[in-house]
Chains A and B, each alone.
Chain A
Amino acid sequence: MTAVLEASGLGKRYGHKWALSECTLAIPAGKVVGLVGPNGAGKSTLLELSVGLLRPDAGSIAVLGGQPGTSPSQLARVGFVAQETPTYAGMSTRDHLWIGARMNPSWDEALAEARIVQLGLDPRQKAGKLSGGQRAQLALTLAVAKRPELLLLDEPVARLDPLARREFLQGLMEVVAEHGASVILSSHLVADLERVCDYLVVLVDSRVRVAGDIDELLASHHRLTGPRRDHEALPSDQQIISESHTDKQSTLVVRTDGPILDPSWSVEQLDLEDLVLAYMSHAVEADRRPKLEVRS
């Protein structure tokens, strides 16, 4: 399986602050990847590095085997929908498609036209007059009509109302199903990703916490509840992701490929939201109680 995105020790710095550091990732082709993390975790930085809007200060990144943004052909292979889906406010939908056609040799005019019709957008309306949802759809149309092999979307639905959100993600899934591109989609809300993604990357505090197929991640993570005990008592193949304790009871989220044998635990499955939250809260715990830090 070839990787659409391969990063090794990747880092980007603004002044003295690292927006992304020691990022090592290999995302396989053909996935719809959810990139989650709190605001400011480095999601936008990672995506902008992938499309060549930024260049790394440390490590390396290869997208579809090439260096991002360095040549017209590399740019043509990657579609990008930027945060807040910028468009030219003074230009009409038709103008945007015209620009897309002039600036992309692989432009799929039929696809673009069909999407505009399907969305019910007035081709003569200025982009500045479109609703947030329509603007996002226009930006998505521009990104998909260049027929990229990899489509990157930076918080495309963050500012949309729930209905527009659903419509946008539906449109995205239709295009992906029809034309088969790999997708990396960032969000700080797990609910957005649950429906569409089959691969997950959790980014917290400029670092990658976990990355993998969602099915595998869900199968290998468990919530254990039982009488209060020290975490040293766990078998070595069980890695603690997060823990909370009351006087009498301990609740752990652990990652293991093996079965949970200890009968004193009551074992629960996690859903995607629980899993992401476990990784995010782990970061908080680690900051507060460095002695208990468990490296993932």
Chain B
Amino acid sequence: MIRVALRQFRTEGVVGLGLLVVFAIVLAVTGPHLAHVYDAFESSCKVAGDCATAANPVLNVDTPLHGALPFIVVIAPALLGLFFGAPLIARELETGTFRLAWTQSVTRNRWLAVKLGLVGIAAMAIGGLLTWMADWWASPLDAVNQNRFSVVNFSFHGIAPIGYAAFAFALGATAGVLLRRTVAAMAVTGAGFAAARLAVTYWVRPHFASPVRESLPLSAGSGPGFLYGSSQGTTIFNAYIQSGVPTPGVGQVVLTAPQVSVPNGWVYSTTVVNKAGHAPTSHYLFQACPVLKQLSRPQPPSAAPLQACITRLTSTFHTVLAYQPPSRFWSFQWAEMGIFLAAGLALCGLAYWWLRRRYA
């Protein structure tokens, strides 16, 4: 039965493997150059003693591939679901060949287990290999960007994509069992996979672990600043605008938190509070820094007195940073993969149950 399942999977398997090989060749050809540029830059900037601000040539190497790589790795599991998963059983049901397959001397349970197991493992292997190759190719970029936890980088590194591939495949196969139409199953697989990925990325992943909270002096990071609301709009002084910053009302002023970056970490929020945990009110800020009143004038105050005001506030206020440290990257990867693997297994269970119920 295993050889029969392999034979019936031959076309899809060969195409999948072929694309994987093409991908591998492209990466193998371009990868060493990227690594070389990175090494050259690293040694030269070390000599010059300026690695932080020097324009990094690594980011300008193979630009089309930079853009395409995350896209390919993110879309690959969906394609596996569409072309490995959806037709696997739907095609048998739609053409009537299940009546041929299920009346040979192999029970239906075994037939289903071998098909799902074999093609599912192939999908996971392709997803895993693809990610592993992309990981290798992009390692100089990762060293420069230091942003492994970002939405895009997280999903094309590590082991999470193995879970995505398993889930997409199981979704395709199960949709095929339920809908009995390959094309309909493909549509459901594409939409369902995208929905599941988005839902987990934005609603579930932030809750894998509660963030570490750390108090930092207000001076840490760049740009604690002010936002002043006038009837013409908002005047910005030195402020780093991030999501969650309140918009000041007319005639009000807001002290914005500094931007603190955690290399390869995931910053949830930065807030400015006093020892009691309260943010400064607009009223308090005007009292502490009368110079802020000048923000309402057409000629804004010069930077020096405003900066002096921030320095004065430093004794009373501090920054609270909530973030996931880089050391949690792998536990998040395991959790992400686990969720998608479990969902995939549950879907296979549904397919099994439905075949027994509907066709027995």
Contacts and interface: CB of A to CB of B under 8 A. Distances in A.
Interface of A: 48, 51-55, 69-73, 75-76, 78-80, 82-84, 86-90, 95, 98-100, 102-106, 139, 142, 146
A82 B96 contact: yes
Contacts of B360: 52-55, 69
Contacts of B100: 82, 86-88, 139, 142
**9 tightest A-B contacts by CB?**
A82-B99, A103-B104, A76-B105, A86-B96, A80-B103, A55-B360, A104-B105, A86-B97, A75-B105
A142 B99 CA distance: 12
Interface stretch (B3-11, B264-272, B341-349): B3-11
B106 interface: yes
A272 to B, nearest CB: 29
Contact of B1 (A51, A89, A102): A102
Contacts of B102: 52-53, 69
Contacts, number: 77
Contacts of B8: 88
Nearest to B359: A53
B99 A53 contact: yes
A54 B107 contact: no
Given A76-B105, A86-B96, A103-B4, 17 more contacts: A51-B103, A69-B107, A75-B104, A75-B107, A86-B95, A86-B97, A87-B100, A88-B8, A90-B11, A99-B4, A99-B7, A100-B104, A104-B104, A104-B105, A139-B100, A146-B104, A146-B105
A291 to B, nearest CB: 41
Contacts of B197: none
Contacts of A79: 103
A148 to B, nearest CB: 10
Nearest to A142: B100
A75 B102 CA distance: 9
A284 B288 CA distance: 100
B108 interface: yes
B94 to A, nearest CB: 11
A103 B1 contact: yes
B108 A69 contact: yes
- What range describes how many residues of B lie at the interface? 20 to 34
Nearest to A106: B105
Nearest to A103: B104
A9 B95 CA distance: 32
Contact of B106 (A48, A55, A75): A75
Contacts of B359: 53-54
A134 to B, nearest CB: 16
B97 A87 contact: yes
A40 to B, nearest CB: 18
A39 B338 CA distance: 51
27 contacts: A52-B360, A53-B99, A53-B102, A69-B102, A69-B103, A69-B108, A69-B360, A70-B107, A71-B107, A72-B105, A72-B110, A75-B105, A79-B103, A82-B96, A86-B97, A87-B100, A88-B8, A88-B100, A90-B11, A99-B4, A99-B7, A100-B104, A103-B106, A104-B104, A104-B105, A142-B100, A146-B104
Contacts of B103: 51-53, 69, 75, 78-80, 82
A76 B96 CA distance: 20
A285 B28 CA distance: 80
A114 to B, nearest CB: 20
A100 B104 CA distance: 7
Contacts of A139: 100
Nearest to B97: A86
- Of B3, B8, B105, B110, chain A has the most CB atoms within 10 Å of the CB of B105
B95 to A, nearest CB: 6
Nearest to B357: A55
Contacts of B96: 82-84, 86
Contacts of A51: 103
A177 to B, nearest CB: 23
Nearest to A86: B96
B99 A102 contact: no
B108 A105 contact: no
Nearest to A96: B100
Interface string B282-300: 0000000000000000000
Contacts of B110: 72
B135 to A, nearest CB: 36
Nearest to B111: A103
A112 to B, nearest CB: 13
A72 B99 contact: no
A47 B1 CA distance: 25
Contacts of A83: 96, 99
Contacts of A69: 102-103, 107-108, 360
A42 to B, nearest CB: 17
A99 B1 CA distance: 8
Interface in B95-142: 95-97, 99-100, 102-108, 110
A100 B7 CA distance: 12
A142 to B, nearest CB: 7
Interface string B5-21: 00110010000000000
A105 B110 CA distance: 15
Contacts of A52: 102-103, 360
